[in-house]
Amino acid sequence: MIGVGVDITERHKVEAALRQARDAAEQANQMKSTFLASMSHELRTPLNAILNFSEFLADGVLGEVNAKQEETLRKVIGSGEHLLALINDILDISKIEVGMMELFVEEFNLVAELYSVAATGKGLVKNKPVEMKYSIPDDLPHLTGDRRRIHQVLLNLVSNAVKFTKQGEVTMQAVREGDSVLITVQDTGAGIAPEDHALIFQSFKQTRQGMREHQGTGLGLPISKAFVEAHGGRIWLEAAPGSGTTFYVRLPLVAQLKAPQGAQAAAQAASEGQG
C-alpha cells in the first residue's frame, strides 16, 4: 500500500509540473503576441508618415524633383510599403494567437470584391509573361461576413499565385454550391511538394522554394486560414511539383463565426490550466 501511495504522489507531482510548464509557456506566448501587437501599432504610425512625405516629394508637391530623384523616392516608397505589409501581417497573427481577432460582419457584394481582386491581379502580371484570367458569375449572392478580411484572403491567394508563376496563367473562379460559395485560385507555377503542404498554413513557415526565391514572413496563408475558419469556412490546396497549385476557399453565405484553431487551442490550454 505504501508503494502505491508513493507512485500516486510522484505522478501527481509530475502532472503538476507539466501543468506549470504548460501554463508558463502559454503565458510567455501571450506576452510575446501582446508585445508584437503593441510594437506593430507603434511602428505603423511613423512608417505611414514616412510613406506620406515620400509620396509628396515624389509627386512634386513640395518642389520639383528630377527623374533620378523620383526613381529613388519610388524605391523608398516600395520598400516602405513592403515593410508596412509585414508589420500588418505580424499584427494580424498576434491578434489571432491571443484570441483578439475581431470581424466586422456586414452584407456585401462578393462579385464586386472578386472583380476588384482580379483587377489587382491584372496589374501584378503587367510586366510578366503571365495572364490573369477569371470567371465570375454576375448572379453570385451577397455574402454576410467581414468584407475587408475576405478581400484580404482572396488578394493574398492571387498575389501568391502571381509571385510563384514565372510564365503561364493565374485563374480565379467562383461558383455557388448550396449555402456556400466555392472560390478557386489556380496557377501554372512550379507547384508544391507534398511534404510542404502542411507547412504553408503554419506561422513563419515557408516552402523550400519560397525561401529560395522570395522574401516574406510566411504569414499570409496562416492569416488567410484563420480568417476563413473564423467565418465557418474552409481553405485547402491541391498541388504537385511541376503541375501548378490550386487553392480552394469555401465560405458560407452567412458567416458562422468561430474562433480560428490557434485561438481555440490557446483558450483550451488556458481553461485546462485553471481546472
| pLDDT exceeds 90 at position 79 | no
Cell of 77: 516608397
pLDDT at site 259: 62
Q: What is the DSSP letter of 144?
A: E
| pLDDT exceeds 70 at position 132 | yes
Query: Length of the chain, please?
Result: 275
Strand partners of residue 174: 183
Mean pLDDT of 234-238: 95
Mean pLDDT of 77-97: 82
Q: Half-sphere exposure of residue 157, counting CA atoms within 13 Å on the CB side?
A: 30
CATH 3.30.565.10, domain 106-252, yes or no: yes
Rounded CA Rg of the chain: 23
Question: For the chain, which residues make up each domain, given as ranges?
Answer: 2-97, 106-252
| pLDDT exceeds 80 at position 117 | yes
| pLDDT exceeds 90 at position 165 | yes
Give the separation between CA 269 and CA 190, rounded to whole angstroms.
39
Give the separation between CA 220 and CA 203, rounded to whole angstroms.
9
The model carries a pTM of: 0.72
Q: Report the CATH number of the 2-97 domain.
A: 1.10.287.130
Mean pLDDT of 60-86: 87
Mean pLDDT of 178-198: 91
Which of 252, 259, 260 is closest to 233 using CA atoms? Answer: 252
Q: How far out from the chain centre does Cα 59 lie?
A: 32
pLDDT at site 254: 95
Give the separation between CA 173 and CA 182, rounded to whole angstroms.
8
**231-238, Cβ contacts within 8 angstroms, sequence gap of 24 or more:** 231/103, 231/145, 231/146, 231/150, 231/255, 231/256, 231/257, 231/258, 232/256, 232/257, 232/258, 233/180, 235/153, 235/201, 237/192, 237/197, 237/200
